[in-house]
Amino acid sequence: MTKLLLLGGTTEASGLAAHLAETWVAEDPVAGRQAVFSYAGRTARPAQQPLPCRVGGFGGVAGLVDYLRREGITHVVDATHPFAAQMSRNAVLAAAEAGADLVAYERPAWGAQPGDSWSHVADIDAAVAALPDAGARVFLAIGKQHVAAFATKPDNHYLLRLVDAPEAPLALPDASVIVARGPFAAADDAALMRQHNITHVVAKNAGGSGAEAKLIAARSLGLPVVMIERPALPARRVLGSVPEVMRWLDHGA
Ligand code: 3Y8
Ligand code: NAP
């Protein structure tokens, strides 16, 4: 019996879930294979998945060990976002303790293309430091969890794109909000940036296609991008495609 926990929350995770449901789980009518999809519960209405789905934290490493043992999980695919560092660290430790096999399924980081003007920074605070002290018009598409960090530079205008409408007033005196869920299109992002006279874009090096539109738009408009590089993650096996994950699942390859 193979029972898989898929830690999701990205375009790639959704793609893998669709493949697993259509082929891998369906292929074995005696239910020798099961898969469950897991969301953190970060957004009000996470996208529907074609697999049984659980939402919410596990309760740290110990909680995840208990879950893995209780549910008889034999394999874990960490397909969380490259910035979901805490989840990835917990998953490596818990899988080792519970004796489950783990791989990460991750997209490559973006690299600057000709015509890009990127400045690479290590984290959110360094991104704030990289911005002008006043007068800039900044497109912030890094989620609501990190907005408060920019309050130390209140004399810029911030255009925020969030998955859910903010419940409380924003910590930024001069900001406007767009509520939208990716994946996004470059032409729409370019029109948005022109409409708001954006002068700077701040982005996480998410990789993949779902968050890339703003970079393509910035390039077409010749805008500078402050690129936040990925957090360091523990050593683990990283696969880059659905076929690689399926080979690993079926043959440990
Ligand atoms: C978890 C699951 C799909 C998945 C879509 C990807 C692409 C679109 C683009 C911009 C950038 C941002 C943000 C973003 C994108 C995909 C992918 C991606 C960036 C959902 C989703 C979950 C989340 C969480 C959410 C965060 C936030 C980040 C908005 C689902 C829709 C900015 C990251 O408090 C919060 O609101 C937290 C929001 C974490 C970043 C952050 O750190 O705050 N993603 N986004 C839900 C859960 O686990 O409970 O609902 O589908 C997934 C996607 N978001 O198949 O359609 O693959 O990354 N998501 C970033 O990458 O920069 C927006 O606006 O250009
Ligand atoms: P994080 O900081 O690494 O995780 C913090 C805690 O949230 C984890 O310790 C865990 O709680 C819980 N958690 C995270 N992902 C989970 C999952 N898939 N299933 C169950 N619990 C989960 O994570 P984050 O950066 O807040 O991201 C949360 C989710 O949003 C992730 O699934 C990620 O894929 C998705 N997402 C994040 C970003 C981003 O920029 N961070 C972008 C797009 C999508 P416990 O310790 O209690 O187990």
CATH 3.40.50 holds for 118-228: yes
State the distance from the centre of ligand 2 to the C-alpha of 82, rounded, in angstroms. Answer: 10
What's the gap in Å between 99 CA and the centre of ligand 2? Answer: 22
Indicate the pTM of the whole model.
Answer: 0.94
Taking only the tens of pLDDT, the chain with its 253 residues reads 899 999 999 999 999 999 999 999 888 767 689 999 999 999 999 999 999 999 999 999 999 999 999 999 999 999 999 999 999 999 999 999 999 999 999 999 999 999 999 999 999 999 999 999 999 999 999 988 899 999 999 999 999 999 999 999 999 999 999 999 988 999 999 999 999 999 999 999 999 888 899 999 999 999 999 999 999 999 999 999 999 999 999 887 7
Domain residue ranges in the chain:
2-108+232-251, 118-228
Does ligand 2 have an atom closer than 6 angstroms to the CB of 42? yes
Give the pLDDT confidence score for residue 1 in this predicted structure: 87
118: Cα within 13 Å, side-chain hemisphere? 20
The whole-angstrom separation of Cα 150 and Cα 236 is: 33
pLDDT at position 251: 85
24 lines ligand 2 (CB under 6 A): no
Task: Supply the Cα-derived Rg of the chain in whole angstroms.
Answer: 20
pLDDT of res. 152: 97
Ligand 1 midpoint to CA 108 (Å): 17
Report the pLDDT value the prediction gives residue 25, as an integer from 0 to 100: 87
Residue 67 Cβ < 6 Å to ligand 2: no
CA-nearest residue for atom 29, ligand 1, is: 143
Please report, for residues 97, 121, 177, the alpha-carbon distance to residue 28 in angstroms, rounded to integers and kept in the order given: 28, 47, 47
What are the Cα distances from residue 108, in Å, to 50, 82, 104, 216? 25, 9, 12, 17
Q: How far is the CA of 33 from the centre of ligand 1 (A)?
A: 29
Q: The tokens of 204 are what?
A: 């996480």
Q: What architecture is domain 2-108+232-251?
A: 3-Layer(aba) Sandwich (3.40)
Spatial contact of 212 and 110, defined as CB atoms under 8 Å apart: yes
